Amino acid sequence: MTDTTTPTDRYRYAFPDAFAGLTARQADILADTLTLGTQRGTSVSTATARDIAAKIRGLLAD
């Protein structure tokens, strides 16, 4: 059986506060950003996820 969990779903579970109130588009961008960071060896903390989410909210207010 294949895993159908998306990066957005995984990170939304790990950092629910960061994803609260984001649109689907903003949530996908946050998940992609966190994925790129972890692929480059950067650890992701709750505070980092919240900071990035706040920047995305400000830049992409729908």
pLDDT one-digit tens code per residue, 17-37:
999 999 999 999 999 999 999
- In this predicted structure, what is the pLDDT of residue 37? 92
Q: Are 46 and 27 in contact (CB under 8 A)?
A: no
Beta-strand ranges (E) seen in the chain are none
Distance between CA atoms of residues 33 and 59, nearest Å: 14
- What amino acid is encoded at 53 in this protein? A
Mean confidence (pLDDT) of the chain: 91
* Residue 6 backbone dihedrals phi, psi, to 5 degrees: -85, 160
User: Can you give the residue ranges of every domain in the chain?
Assistant: 25-62
**Residue 54, pLDDT score:** 95
- For residue 1, the model assigns a pLDDT of 57
